[in-house]
Amino acid sequence: MNQNKDNLVKDAIEPLKSEAPLIIYIDLKSPYAYLSIDPTRDMLKELDIVADWRPFVLDIPSYLGSAKLGKGGKKVAKQNRTEEQWSDVKYAYFDCRRYANLSDKTIRGTVKIWNTDLPAIGLLWLKNFTNLTEQCAENSYFERYIDKIYDSFWKREFDAEDVASILALLEQIDAPTDGFLEYAESDGAALNSRLQQSSFDAGIYGVPTYILPGESETDPQHEKFFGREHLPRISWLLKGRQGPAPDVAYLLNPEVDDEALTKSAADPRTEPELKIAPLQLTTFFDFKSPQSYLALQSILALKGEGISVDWRPFVSKPLKVPAEEVANEDRSTKHYRIRGEYHANDIKRYASHDLTNIYRETDCQFADMGLLWLQHEVRASNDAIDDYVQQVFVHLWQKEGKIDSPQDIEPLFLATKLTQDEFDKAIQDRTFINGWQKYVESKGLEHLDRAREASLS
């Protein structure tokens, strides 16, 4: 271990290069980064490899607005967020808390958007005294620093903007501290500033971000991943692509009991005491959404576990085509462009075939009406409804078919696997298609408006 303060790293760090097979960017103020640490360590241990952990300081106000709680930490005193931004923030905390509860972690909403440059500098400081192997070792300075600072920060017990707090934490874990205060104001601050700018310029916009340096030339599509849900695919890549490429998944502690897992999946507004896993999954989806299409097979696979799907139509905003890069972009514009480019790449690499238009703005009202007709008028079986949903997705995304009119939907009904009883009931002294046409002209629009309104509540 090198503890010579005269050998501190001063040169810029290449954001996408490392001696390690994996680079991991984290930020103290991100609950997603906090939740990623344990499963990432488990993966590294399983693969017997080291990673290069680095700080990335999020500039949240540039893309998500800002807010600050008043005294007592409960009511918002100042804010400049849109309704959509607040919705994103509230869901993010809800999502993170339920996963935190499964891993015995505490995540309390922060009282403000913290500047986490000092915790980042503390991380860079420790990299001066340990190599990559030592940093990834159990109970290392690095591991103890990350564990203690995240745990106390998310309990609202740590001032991330106080250099004395960082110094005290370093002392608490018995790490070298001689010269840290000077480093934090000079070389460390300069190094961190360069790293933040260069990593953002290289396309890193959120945390946790995983970089596979070895993929940069052989397969750029698999060089960068944002989010711990990609750990199965990252592990597969690091193992040499053995077997089928895995889909996204959140890796949970296998010791989590069913009751805790069921409770975490419940909506606290409606099912606070849910203790038994439901046998039906309510799924809001949009036929034109590539994310919905990619999730289709995983959702249908739930039938094998005895879980049926209650399909609910939802109108999502089409993906935005990323803006062209222009000179002198501001931080916000660049963030949205980088994120848009990343999302497009992410969708394409998980697709089982080429997707010709992920930005489609298809009008899905008649495809949605078809679903509602089968559910409310035909009263088709779950299997038949599942098959119809799959027929529409395949028609739209694989065959590039149209769903813009009632006539476009008719062949999909005929291809749907209805039982004889369902087919006979649908006819009701009329042809099957006539029943559908009458529904479109009468109840269809009313049912569609009601379903879409319910999806927003």
Q: Is residue 250 part of a domain?
A: no
pLDDT at 429: 40
Mean pLDDT split into 10-residue runs, the chain, 457 residues: 50 91 98 98 98 96 73 69 77 89 90 96 96 96 98 98 99 98 97 97 97 84 96 97 95 78 63 61 96 97 94 95 94 95 96 94 97 92 95 97 96 82 57 84 95 87
214 and 292 part of one domain: no
Q: Is residue 343 part of a domain?
A: no
313 and 170 part of one domain: no
286 and 230 part of one domain: no
Pick from 181, 208, 238: which residue ends a domain? 238
In the chain, how many domains are there?
2
Q: Which residues contact 175 (CB under 8 A, 6 or more apart)?
A: 126, 129, 141, 144, 145
- CA–CA dist 236, 230 (Å, integer): 10
- CA–CA dist 420, 350 (Å, integer): 37
Q: Which residues contact 71 (CB under 8 A, 6 or more apart)?
A: none
The continuous run of DSSP H or E covering 76 comes out as strand 76-79
| Both structure tokens of 329 | 């972009």
Pick from 207, 238, 269: which residue ends a domain? 238
- CA–CA dist 133, 140 (Å, integer): 10
212 and 284 part of one domain: no
Distances from the Cα of 237 to the Cαs of 173, 295, 354, 417, in angstroms?
34, 21, 20, 39
The continuous run of DSSP H or E covering 308 comes out as strand 308-313
232 and 285 part of one domain: no
61 and 115 part of one domain: yes
108 and 213 part of one domain: yes
Q: Is residue 337 part of a domain?
A: no
Q: Is residue 184 part of a domain?
A: yes
227 and 376 part of one domain: no
Q: What is the DSSP letter of 25?
A: E
pLDDT at 2: 47
65 and 137 part of one domain: yes
| CB-CB neighbours of 217 under 10 Å | 8
16 and 164 part of one domain: yes
Which CATH number belongs to the domain containing residue 233 in this structure? Answer: 3.40.30.10
Q: Is residue 160 part of a domain?
A: yes
Q: Is residue 249 part of a domain?
A: no
Q: Is residue 60 part of a domain?
A: yes
212 and 291 part of one domain: no
- CA–CA dist 455, 126 (Å, integer): 49
| Both structure tokens of 64 | 């998500």
Q: What is the DSSP letter of 43?
A: H
Looking at residue 244, its amino acid is: P
- pTM for the whole structure: 0.90
What are 199-234's pLDDT values in tens digits? 999 999 999 999 999 887 778 889 999 999 999 999
Q: Is residue 403 part of a domain?
A: yes
Looking at residue 107, its amino acid is: I
- CA–CA dist 371, 20 (Å, integer): 50
Location of structure tokens 């038994």: 276
Domain range for 380: 279-318+360-455
215 and 297 part of one domain: no
pLDDT at 278: 65
